[in-house]
Amino acid sequence: MRDSSDDVPADNRHFATPPYETEATAAGLRVTVYLPEVDPRAIELVTQGGALTLSAPQRQYVRANFSALHLESAQRDYRLHLRLGDSLDLGAITARYRADRITLDVPKHRIAATRSPRPRPVMPAAA
């Protein structure tokens, strides 16, 4: 029997994936990540290659009663790993945090933003 955690990298098994939205903009990509119960000063963004990893520890609450102990194991820290590709400039990310969410604006590389698609000739179909 396969465990569903087999599909998750070993270093991500103890993290929760936060809800997020992506939106393509004229300037690049906007990613909004919802991070309730997180100290904004503890959010960490790491870029490597064409990947972006966001890590954010949740505030941990210790319950006084034993019956709520199972909730503490559900309070996992957040980690989001996105493969964004090479057309975006991950070194120029801007981030804004407000009301339990962080908005990341990832611009396109200047070359990709100014490059227009080349027209391709249309060949007639063979009869």
More confident residue, 39 or 60: 39
| Nearby residues of 113 by Cβ (< 8 Å), 6 or more positions away | 27, 28, 107
Domains in the chain with CATH codes? 14-110 (2.60.40.790)
More confident residue, 126 or 110: 110
**97-119: pLDDT as tens digits:** 999 999 999 999 876 545 555 56
Question: What's this model's pTM, rounded to 2 decimal places?
Answer: 0.69
Q: Using a pLDDT cut of 90, give the percent of the chain over it.
A: 46
- Residue 88 to residue 105: CA distance in whole angstroms: 10
Q: Does residue 95 register a pLDDT over 80? A: yes
CA nearest neighbour of 38 among 99, 104, 103: 99
